[in-house]
Chain A
């Protein structure tokens, strides 16, 4: 089943922000049309998939047909982050920072198996199992690498998602500032600040286990 059907298909769980806006006003239509016709992706390549992304933007597949040819090197000027390639632990602090720097409305497309779920390198010690562990992802494009046509299909899916949004419910017009995602830190392994509690609990568990072992061996010696 393709992504198009997915949006129309009722048994697919519609994302929350889409659920409440069945009635699309004319303003919404104009608003969405203008947004989706001038999505500026961030010029941001990570790995092999980036090469296919560049090909998509180049002579043969020509992203400018979708108003996306303006690849901005700066996150401040872009609407769409195409995470194209393997996300490593060493790189993920920068990715989170870039995401935080993008102005809303912002979208994330995860391109390829690696960005989506770790891909062939998932078992590696320096690989993050999917960029969605850190930033929210709107569309996933599987494949290794997705061909330019597959990426275009994913981009069209992003546009479809935009078409479903309503100015009344979109999060960036709600009250209160939107929260930045805490930037992970490079320690003995990557540390996600949101996980510090889990890490503490695990450390405590390990400590009790260690003392238990020590006591046991002590008892055995005695």
Chain B
């Protein structure tokens, strides 16, 4: 195999020297559509090909699985992006299937990390995955009518296929969407539906999955009844509206079924109605603690489509903002992990204090504390302000990254790391071995705490990360304690990057935006997969353009969502009190999990 060099602009370029089509001459062809890359695989050979790329070519990490509805061709396409954990660009596999009866073999047996993603594709696009062990809806509820991301499916408040809507201007006579709906609210029912004589099925499906109805006891021990407990969706330790259906044997967990979708805000459906630019503020609301890095990923994906250049200074500012975001996020994550472990609020208070300082900078630069909406295609919205809090911004930054943050991180370290209670609650709990971490497609700190030094910033460098000196933090035990420690390590590395940026920033002048300020962004018909190392893991944007003003397909590979695939495995055999700790150490944000 020839050595692959990473492309400087990041993701989604398939290495040209791969010879997958030569390997499987009758099952694989190159994807020759203009602007597309990767390979088209025959559905019946998919499992074979996937096994081969995993075992023979080293693509051991399946990053993203999603579907695209090519309605006009009458086809559904499932798109897989696989990587090597040793680094390098993506290998994209595509499988096409007729739209009316979309069936594709499931890859759960090859890559267990495909589990939730295939369920999502079934839920939203109606693609069946043959051989999937538990093909049930995941974001919507069982019994919901239709598969919403299909292009011909319309939501109750449907106005037009694409924004901007004609009713807004010039004849913008205000009305609420409710007024156009016969029920006066956001609902619609299928024509054959009748309220009487209809049975809800949503809950039964969940409990069947929880294994609650199975027998327990193996004949030798005392037969005990299994107890099914619902944690969430309203639970202080689930970090939002997340639910776990746990079946317990005494205090020990037999089976844990994550139930999500309580914050499913239809990001992708709305995203496909939006123009490219309009999606930017929506990405803020994915992982709402890290809006800056979400912006970055989306900007990268669209810049890839547009082949736009980003000026030097904008790149520096972007890196600075993204790394500060990482510090914010890890501060928050550690604070709330400790909350979950019972150290209620004091660590979180200390962490939030540092976060607030960074948010002040975001507010002064981008205009909002959380929903920054800061990056634009080809640059950033505004330069850093000259003055900030009665001083120069650069002085503030220097003090922040050279003094304040390192001190705060050290403080947290002394405060928590050697605390005996924390150690005994965390060490050896929820161990995730490296092979499993890869197989389950976990990403970010969860993956690296299991001894896999995989960081997109190094493995497939994007932006200007290859100019900075930093180490990929890695820990080897894969338990809750290591997942805590790795966040401290990563914060230290981020501070290092920030220090370098702040050192160089005053010497770098020039524009912060390439091209003119434009509200109509058009991109050529093509596809792109842009990915960044978000604080929670690899965040990917898969965007398909058909040359119009709106994306045809807009999919998000959400790290919080995919990291949860392994949660059930991690919790098995532990006591119920450990579940919250394990969940806290994975660090999810529901806005991203459910989108």
Using a CB–CB cutoff of 8 Å, the interface residues on chain A facing chain B are 43-48, 50-52, 54-55, 58-60, 73, 85-86, 88-91, 94, 98, 118, 120-129, 133, 144-145, 147, 185-192, 195-196, 198-200, 202-203, 206-207, 210
Most chain B CB inside 10 Å of its own CB: which residue of A54, A125, A188: A125
CB-defined contacts of A59 to chain B, threshold 8 Å? 349-350, 352-353, 356
Contact A48 B186 (CB under 8 A): no
List 26 A–B pairs whose Cβ atoms lie within 8 Å, in order of A's numbering.
Answer: A46-B263, A47-B240, A48-B288, A50-B240, A51-B288, A54-B352, A55-B352, A55-B356, A58-B345, A58-B353, A59-B356, A73-B235, A90-B261, A126-B261, A127-B186, A128-B186, A129-B185, A129-B186, A145-B370, A145-B371, A188-B193, A189-B144, A189-B156, A195-B183, A195-B185, A202-B183
A98 to B241, CA, bound (A): 13
CB-defined contacts of A86 to chain B, threshold 8 Å? 263, 265
CB-defined contacts of A55 to chain B, threshold 8 Å? 352, 356
Given A122-B157, A200-B195, A203-B194, 9 further pairs, Cβ under 8 A: A45-B240, A47-B240, A48-B371, A60-B352, A88-B265, A91-B262, A124-B266, A124-B270, A188-B189
Contact of B143 among A45, A60, A187 (CB under 8 A): A187
Using a CB–CB cutoff of 8 Å, the interface residues on chain B facing chain A are 139-141, 143-145, 148, 155-157, 159, 176-178, 182-191, 193-196, 198, 200, 202, 233-236, 240-241, 261-267, 269-270, 273, 281-282, 285, 288-289, 345, 348-350, 352-353, 356, 369-371, 590-591
Q: Are A124 and B269 also in contact (CB < 8 A) when A47-B240, A48-B591, A60-B352 are?
A: yes
Most chain A CB inside 10 Å of its own CB: which residue of B159, B190, B281: B190
Contact A58 B266 (CB under 8 A): no
Q: Are A44 and B234 also in contact (CB < 8 A) when A123-B157, A124-B265, A144-B371 are?
A: yes
Q: Closest Cβ of chain A: how far from B294's Cβ, in Å?
A: 12
Contact B233 A94 (CB under 8 A): yes
Contact A121 B143 (CB under 8 A): no
Contact A187 B200 (CB under 8 A): yes
The 6 closest A-B pairs by CB, nearest first: A124-B266, A188-B145, A48-B288, A125-B155, A73-B236, A58-B352
Q: Closest Cβ of chain B: how far from A186's Cβ, in Å?
A: 5
Q: Closest Cβ of chain B: how far from A135's Cβ, in Å?
A: 14
Contact A60 B155 (CB under 8 A): no
Contact B193 A91 (CB under 8 A): no
A125 to B269, CA, bound (A): 9
Contact B240 A46 (CB under 8 A): yes
Contact A203 B263 (CB under 8 A): no
Most chain A CB inside 10 Å of its own CB: which residue of B141, B188, B353: B141
Name the residue on A nearest B363 (C-beta).
A147
Contact A126 B265 (CB under 8 A): yes
Contact A203 B141 (CB under 8 A): no
Contact B183 A199 (CB under 8 A): yes
Contact A127 B266 (CB under 8 A): yes
A73 to B340, CA, bound (A): 13
Name the residue on B nearest A184 (C-beta).
B187
Most chain B CB inside 10 Å of its own CB: which residue of A91, A190, A196: A91
Q: Are A189 and B157 also in contact (CB < 8 A) when A60-B353, A85-B263 are?
A: no
CB-defined contacts of A144 to chain B, threshold 8 Å? 371
Q: Are A91 and B241 also in contact (CB < 8 A) when A59-B356, A200-B195 are?
A: yes
A58 to B345, CA, bound (A): 8
Contact A98 B187 (CB under 8 A): no
Contact B233 A147 (CB under 8 A): no
Contact A199 B148 (CB under 8 A): no
Q: Closest Cβ of chain A: how far from B13's Cβ, in Å?
A: 33
Contact of A210 among B191, B234, B345, B591 (CB under 8 A): B191
Contact A147 B369 (CB under 8 A): yes
Contact of B370 among A44, A52, A188 (CB under 8 A): A52
Q: Closest Cβ of chain A: how far from B280's Cβ, in Å?
A: 12
Q: Are A187 and B198 also in contact (CB < 8 A) when A60-B356, A123-B177 are?
A: yes
CB-defined contacts of A123 to chain B, threshold 8 Å? 155, 157, 159, 177, 266, 270, 273
Q: Closest Cβ of chain A: how far from B245's Cβ, in Å?
A: 14
Q: Are A126 and B140 also in contact (CB < 8 A) when A58-B348, A133-B185, A199-B189 are?
A: yes
Contact B348 A122 (CB under 8 A): no
CB-defined contacts of A206 to chain B, threshold 8 Å? 191
CB-defined contacts of B202 to chain A, threshold 8 Å? 186
Contact A120 B261 (CB under 8 A): no
Contact A91 B155 (CB under 8 A): no
Name the residue on A nearest B181 (C-beta).
A129
Q: Are A203 and B349 also in contact (CB < 8 A) when A47-B288, A125-B266 are?
A: no
CB-defined contacts of B190 to chain A, threshold 8 Å? 188
Q: Closest Cβ of chain B: how far from A138's Cβ, in Å?
A: 20
Contact A202 B182 (CB under 8 A): yes
CB-defined contacts of B289 to chain A, threshold 8 Å? 51
Q: Are A118 and B186 also in contact (CB < 8 A) when A88-B263, A126-B266, A203-B194 are?
A: yes
Name the residue on B nearest A72 (C-beta).
B236
Q: Closest Cβ of chain B: how far from A89's Cβ, in Å?
A: 8
Q: Closest Cβ of chain B: how far from A185's Cβ, in Å?
A: 6
Name the residue on B nearest A206 (C-beta).
B191
Q: Closest Cβ of chain A: how far from B462's Cβ, in Å?
A: 26
CB-defined contacts of B273 to chain A, threshold 8 Å? 123
Most chain A CB inside 10 Å of its own CB: which residue of B145, B155, B288: B288
A126 to B97, CA, bound (A): 28
CB-defined contacts of B369 to chain A, threshold 8 Å? 52, 147
Name the residue on B nearest A207 (C-beta).
B191
CB-defined contacts of B140 to chain A, threshold 8 Å? 90, 126
A123 to B159, CA, bound (A): 9
Contact A47 B590 (CB under 8 A): yes
A15 to B270, CA, bound (A): 36
Name the residue on A nearest B349 (C-beta).
A59
Contact B177 A129 (CB under 8 A): yes
Name the residue on A nearest B239 (C-beta).
A45
Q: Are A48 and B285 also in contact (CB < 8 A) when A86-B263, A187-B143 are?
A: yes
CB-defined contacts of B178 to chain A, threshold 8 Å? 129
A198 to B27, CA, bound (A): 54
Name the residue on B nearest A196 (C-beta).
B195
Q: Closest Cβ of chain B: how far from A182's Cβ, in Å?
A: 13
Q: Closest Cβ of chain A: how far from B566's Cβ, in Å?
A: 23
CB-defined contacts of A54 to chain B, threshold 8 Å? 352
Contact B263 A91 (CB under 8 A): yes
A207 to B190, CA, bound (A): 11
A88 to B176, CA, bound (A): 18
A126 to B348, CA, bound (A): 32
